[in-house]
Structure 1
């Protein structure tokens, strides 16, 4: 039977209000409301029109219910500048990610979650140190945040939202942590976003501070996690020019602004120096174009999954077809790592990902 919940999800994914969708398909808003509430059953002609306008396969609207990613269950980094349509589109993308995640979990043994519940910890910097100790990271820089999170059982997806207003968000579902990163951001910003969302997952799993207080805690955690105090102070005991910060930032894979902020918090930069550097960062355009930028991090897990699927001649388009998703939606969720490639020769020994 036609599933009205999926209609609502597809509409939100396309950033359409009920009124805007009604105009798009030439119906009244009341009719659209009745369709989404399940009070009206659309005829085949209407379903064809809906499929065409929303660019979702017709079969998508006949599937079972998809877990809704509710606004209250997701920790959004950016709230003030985000519109309701942008928020709903991002949440809808998260629901589609659940479909792909379940599909993969049925076929592969994936890393089990290894996050620590630190909701009792009131000092974000101490929480960052605790996580580093638990994961045996020491004081060394983290080469890849995505690879690290995936190895600890976090399901990391990308958001191709084409807007700066949706930074990233995270949530828990059935005991599994999820992080969604906006690929519209720079590589340095995405790394900070990933650490920021890790903070929400370990600090705010059971509630706690909300709104601005929660964001400040997550910012402090992310800064401490990516730039450990001992390592930063041993490398940068003194700073004379902004160019010194630009030259040093690559070690920790952060932006110029993020390292300047950290140095100020650690007392390396005085209040006057920090204000001066912030002005210079704005004047040089470093807020929008990071100097000496890093290459974007890629998902190791998704690349392995789709390579393994391809050895069984299961292509990207076939996965999308089985899930009844538009191919571009699937591509957007996995960092563009679903291109069809020649199947590799199987290595000897037990693979790190094993089909169930």
Structure 2
């Protein structure tokens, strides 16, 4: 049976390109009324109209045909900065999830990725105890997390990049058919992105069956992230006394967090007084280290994706072919996988024993970031 035109896919593509109805209609050479009728399933577009819409959106024409794609409802996604985002930015980010689901299904068909191991910790009394329980469950002890993306992927979390051209979209997470997904904005600093990832992990654990929309959800996820990345007992044993902001800067890299995050956490766990912390934040605002991270970490990327693409390359399958196979633009595909479809960073990936089925991945979670 031949696939029919799908207006839901058209709306998703328009959201991804952040085009208004007027802008798309103008670019496709049709009236806004005609576009509205097409999107609302009142009109079946002519072949030449479909061609014009696909060209205007820079999407393969084939994408506009087929079954509905899974969508993430706004209430089911935990956005860190929902109030700061415009409706257009939110729709664009949520549409990215629908494309990621397509990619994930394709990769899952071919590779045996790690099974999900993200427990439901909604019963925990505090976010701090939830973070401690998860660390114990994953066997991390009190040592720093070397690479958050590696750790998440090793526990079955599917991590994708938003690569949105705005600082108002931090990150969001959701569940789909029992699989957790986290989407990170790669415009942020590495330290910020790591905290975002831990924040979303908190939502996945503590608000697994809803509840990420209540008033206390964001503070809870922040407290979880701080405790998960910076276990209080370990931080106190390392940082017994602080004489200057430089002392804090010397320690921040061990935990892979920003200068501001470590300063705030030290005040929460009693290493700094509220007066000291306030003074250090004034100093950060004055010297610009609140917004421009001093001595920044290198950006984290995904070992899984590099391994996957190395295997596909060994089979002479290119990123362009994968994108064509699922009928999405190559640029969308690349942004979803952190740009790893087209380049490798300097870190070594162990791929010698990996195969298309039962992919084996080595994750170094003992490394100090």
TM-score of the alignment, normalized to the shorter chain, above 0.5: yes
Q: TM-score range by the shorter chain?
A: over 0.9
> Is the 2:25–2:32 contact (alpha carbons within 8 Å) kept by the matching residues of 1?
yes
1:354 aligns with 2:358: yes
Unaligned 5+ residue runs, structure 1?
none
Alignment match of 2:261 (pick from 258, 261, 265): 258
1:108 aligns with 2:111: yes
Alignment match of 2:329 (pick from 287, 306, 326): 326
How far the C-alpha of 1:36 sits from its partner, in A, is 1.1
Aligned equivalent of 1:37? 40
**Secondary structure in 2 aligned to 1:136?**
coil
Alignment match of 2:138 (pick from 118, 135, 140): 135
Q: CA RMSD in A?
A: 1.8
Aligned equivalent of 1:2? 5
Instruction: Give the number of equivalent residue pairs.
Output: 352
TM-score (norm 2): 0.92
Q: 1:255 to 1:84 in 2, by over 3 A?
A: same
> Is the 1:238–1:268 contact (alpha carbons within 8 Å) kept by the matching residues of 2?
yes
Q: 1:14 to 1:137 in 2, by over 3 A?
A: same
Aligned equivalent of 2:100? 97
**Secondary structure in 1 aligned to 2:121?**
coil
> Is the 1:161–1:182 contact (alpha carbons within 8 Å) kept by the matching residues of 2?
yes
How far the C-alpha of 1:213 sits from its partner, in A, is 1.1
TM-score (norm 1): 0.95
Counterpart CA distance in 2 for 1:112 and 1:292 is: 36
Aligned equivalent of 2:367? none
Alignment match of 2:169 (pick from 162, 166, 173): 166
Alignment match of 1:224 (pick from 214, 224, 227): 227
Counterpart CA distance in 1 for 2:284 and 2:182 is: 29
**Greater alpha carbon shift after TM alignment, 200-209 vs 273-282:** 200-209
Unaligned 5+ residue runs, structure 2?
360-369
**Secondary structure in 2 aligned to 1:106?**
helix
Counterpart CA distance in 1 for 2:263 and 2:357 is: 40
> Is the 1:18–1:29 contact (alpha carbons within 8 Å) kept by the matching residues of 2?
yes
> Is the 1:304–1:353 contact (alpha carbons within 8 Å) kept by the matching residues of 2?
no
